[in-house]
């Protein structure tokens, strides 16, 4: 457990470093949002979805897993576009839902590390490497979804602190409970749907609306590619 906690602390540091980088480069917000859009969708497609299938399909059929992904996508859409709309009918909330979702994902990352170390040290090391590989972009993503609504840096920084501490909290939580692998797989499938919506409906259009140039599109691709390569290298 000590090793798992140290790796959770490393994940917290990587997340904070990514968010701090995004805060310092606020003048390039359209590029940060572009990268975040690609990275969020990359995490959904290259990390969460494969893990969901790997963990769940021993008990659940593949169509069940994809149905949970769809439920996550449309449930987030309803929360974002119906429940949290301002009364005057303006733009949706100030990034709280997206930032909160990213923080819960970071918490689950920490849980993954802690649960993996309960299996064996080698399995725990592999899972931790995969988590650390995309934690820097996680910090960028959390800051990006808050700043996209022109919120002050202070609010973005508070969310970054929560997101950075979430993996460590996730590791610590596994001292008190365990979770069946197939159940965790369905949770990851749900978050895959959440992330696909955040990337495709919020971050991607916002990045191009602010600065609709080819460079922004390249940052979309770069975000996804960085996550893909990081996960492949860690795996």
Q: Which domain holds residue 79?
A: 2-234
Better pLDDT: 131 or 27: 131
Among the residue ranges 34-43, 79-88, 115-124, 188-197, the one predicted with the least confidence is 79-88
**pLDDT of amino acid 211:** 63
**Token pair belonging to 229:** 């390569």
pTM (2 decimals)?
0.73
- Mind listing the pLDDT tens digit for each residue in 169-219? 999 998 887 778 888 889 889 889 988 988 888 778 777 775 667 888 898
Please state the separation of Cα 68 from the chain's center in Å. Answer: 17
Give pLDDT, residue 63.
95
Total domain count, the chain: 1
Q: Is the pLDDT of residue 115 over 70?
A: yes
pLDDT of residue 80 exceeding 50, the answer is yes
Residue 7 buriedness (CB in 10 A; 0-12 / 13-18 / 19+): buried
Distance CA 134, CA 150 (A): 25
* In the predicted structure, residue 124 carries a pLDDT above the cut 80: no
Region of poorest pLDDT, from 87-96, 120-129, 144-153: 87-96
Confidence check: pLDDT of 163 > 90: yes
pLDDT at residue 107 is higher than 80: yes
Q: Which residue has the tokens 């949770």?
A: 187
What is the reported pLDDT for 151? 56
Q: Give Dmax (Cα) for the chain.
A: 54
Mean of pLDDT over the chain: 82
Top-confidence residue, 91 or 3: 3
**Residue given tokens 């009364």 in the structure block:** 87
**What is the b/e burial string over 190-204, where b = at least 16 CB atoms within 10 angstroms of the residue's CB?**
bbbbbbbbbbebbbb
Model confidence band, residue 149 (pLDDT cutoffs 50, 70, 90): low
């Amino acid at each position: 457990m000590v090793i798992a906690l140290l790796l959770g602390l490393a994940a917290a540091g990587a997340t904070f470093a990514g968010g701090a980088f995004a805060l310092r480069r606020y003048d390039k917000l359209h590029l940060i949002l572009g990268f975040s859009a690609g990275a969020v969708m990359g995490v959904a497609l290259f990390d969460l979805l494969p893990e969901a299938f790997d963990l769940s399909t021993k008990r659940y059929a593949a169509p069940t897993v994809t149905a949970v992904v769809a439920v996550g996508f449309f449930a987030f859409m309803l929360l974002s576009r119906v429940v949290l709309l301002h009364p005057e009918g303006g733009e949706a909330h100030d990034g709280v839902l997206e930032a909160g979702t990213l923080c819960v994902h970071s918490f689950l990352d920490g849980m993954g590390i802690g649960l993996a170390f309960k299996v064996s040290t080698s399995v725990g090391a592999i899972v931790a490497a995969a988590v650390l590989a995309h934690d820097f972009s996680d910090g960028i993503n959390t800051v990006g979804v808050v700043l996209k609504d022109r919120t002050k840096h202070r609010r973005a920084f508070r969310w970054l602190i929560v997101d950075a501490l979430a993996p460590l909290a996730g590791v610590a939580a596994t001292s008190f409970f365990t979770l069946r692998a197939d159940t965790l797989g369905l949770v990851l499938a749900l978050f895959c749907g959440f992330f696909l919506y955040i990337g495709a409906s919020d971050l991607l259009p916002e990045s191009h609306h602010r600065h609709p140039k080819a460079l922004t599109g390249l940052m979309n691709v770069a975000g996804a590619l960085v996550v893909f390569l990081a996960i492949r290298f860690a795996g």
